Structure 1
Amino acid sequence: MRFAHLTRLCLPFAAAFLVTGCLDDGGSSGGDDTNSGRIHYLGVSGLSYQTASQSGTTDGQGRFRYYPGETLSLRVGNLPIIEDVSAQEYVTFLEFLPETREPLQSPGVDDEALRDHRLIEEQQFGNTTLLNMTRFLMALNWSQFVAEDQGIDIRPRVITQLNAALSDPNLPDSIDFTVNQADFTAEDSPVNRLLAAICFYPEDNVLCSEPPTDDEINSAPPRPENDEDIDPEVTYSEDLESLRDRILQAVRQIEDADNERARTYLRRELNAISREVARRYFLADHKANHPASDTTIKTIQIRRIGGAPSLAQLEAISKREQDVVIHSWDWQDADVDYFVAGSAGGESELLINFRPANTYRWVRKQIRVIID
């Protein structure tokens, strides 16, 4: 079925899950027919996951196993994060919450009058619950900050300490991610109290010990002014004071993962997934030359690496309609028809915009058409 470009009509198509390779580890046999999904592009490791048929811990690349049609629940240690989110190839933090997930199905329209999912993704970055949850997971990263080329690394030692803190009757046993940010980031907030109970260093590191008390510092002898009088076997008050400062400075706080870092992280991960999806598709040609006398209808084919394209929606425009005109497009056949309307020397860039059947993300490709 083909539609003239004047209607700019895009029809929905039943979504199909993209079957990806199984995880390389985890004890699976060669006959394992589960799909491999991932939390974000660079991954979030150390999360406990559960589907109707699978359970385990996300690996170093944030991967989990599932069967198409299953939902996914995630915990960090004994702390629930999400429940019953659709399991798929990529699960992002935006899909953790109904209020940030549902808008993704209605893309924005950019300056080219073409649909663009990234506009809607960006709008979700103001959601307080999303930011609180993102900041908490980033704060659990083994190093203080999440590196640009790495995912979130939540190590077993962190999980063990978090579970111990959650079980401590003197500490909070849950985190409310829906509270306003002033309450979420307060010095004595549940998230900061739990983070303070976690040491992000090896167990035998001195920074994981209790800081010296004021009494211990005041009871210790002062450091001699003359270096020759310093006894290496004696711990001086200045040493204890310095150690206390180092231990206190090593305590992780939610402000270490502030809103700007959270937005930068989310944007990075979402853009990486969009690029990965786009890399799977290409146009049969990137440039076309036609004589001005040839006004017959030409066809641009959308192709997919490793298989036939399955599209849900499709649209196209010509940047210079006086030279090249879009005649029609067909999302079922994954192609766009156009014809030359200008004189020799004219040209136009055609923008082919489409949404694959298994995602809300739109992919844009272009072809340059030159009139000889």
Structure 2
Amino acid sequence: MDISPRTGTPPATDRTRVALVFGGRSDEHAISCATAASVLRAIDRDRYDVVPVGITREGHWVLVEDDPAALDIRDGRLPAVGDTGQRVIVPLGGVEHEWSVVDAHGEVRPLGVVDVVFPLLHGPFGEDGTIQGLLELADLRYVGCGVLASAAMMDKHVMKVLFASAGLPVGPFTVITDLQWRRDRAAALDAATSLRFPVFVKPARAGSSVGVHKVDRPEELEVAVEKARDHDPKVLVEQGIEGREVECGVLAGRGTAPPRISECGEIVVSGEHAFYDFEAKYLDESSVRITAPADLPAPVREEVHRIAALAFEVAGGEGLSRVDCFVTPTGDVVLNEINTMPGFTPYSMYPQAWAASGVSYPELVDELITLALDRPLGLR
């Protein structure tokens, strides 16, 4: 973004000013950076004036260069937001949306008004309702789900309880809280071993398959829980579901219109990966095949769409989400989870599913910003 060297202020523009916020304090920091690189390349510069704001791993908001290449995952190198010394200040409350920057010498200069924020954050301290709450306090419009939906869907335990109470089909699971693990580890393990193996052990509030382990035997369970606890003291243990991994994208409807559902996509993992883990997703793409649209019988496709729309409604979703399901060999559909800020590179499932539905990546970026600008401030 150009800043006038004479006045220290951004040039006047009729374009909508969009703050892309990425990085963050979670273990998915690098994935957020890669997502930002893709959006920076795709966003329509004739319509939008872009303000790239990175959040360092320590939580500092900094103004960064508008350079997608610096944020790419390349040759196994995971990108990160460095501290540029240009700290961004977001105004809280009121009608003034004038952002500012403080340099290393404490000098403050205006950054200009921001019309809408596109939070490209994955995981805790970003996707979980925290930044959404900050933006609500600041009376700033933003892309994606609100506070409650973001928080509830980030916590896989709470999410599954909500879905089950709404009658949606979820697989068997148990949760191990930090207190349960410290107070009676044996009882926690007993509850988990009552599930049919293999099971999947996951941090309850993480994504991108960070800290997820497939466990084939009960004697491997304790170590897997400890590894998951490196990322989150609350751990979910899910019974493995035999079947195909099928996902679809959701876009909020305009006004009172129902949400729009994309074509279904299917993930097939091969090679040495036992499941769609972090390495298969981001570092070893040769082991993964994404097919969109997925080859599904019409009744199964319709059921996936029905479940996706209902799950989005139960979650109180806004903007976008990706809904993940399993299709069993008998054709039953089991809801796995909703991701309120899904992987968003052009090679991720969410954009690929929409591309198969006739919506290109740049069009998707534009649609999400438009939905955010249309959304009223305050309680909805």
TM-score (norm 2): 0.22
Max Rg structure: 1
Which TM-score applies when normalising by structure 1? 0.23
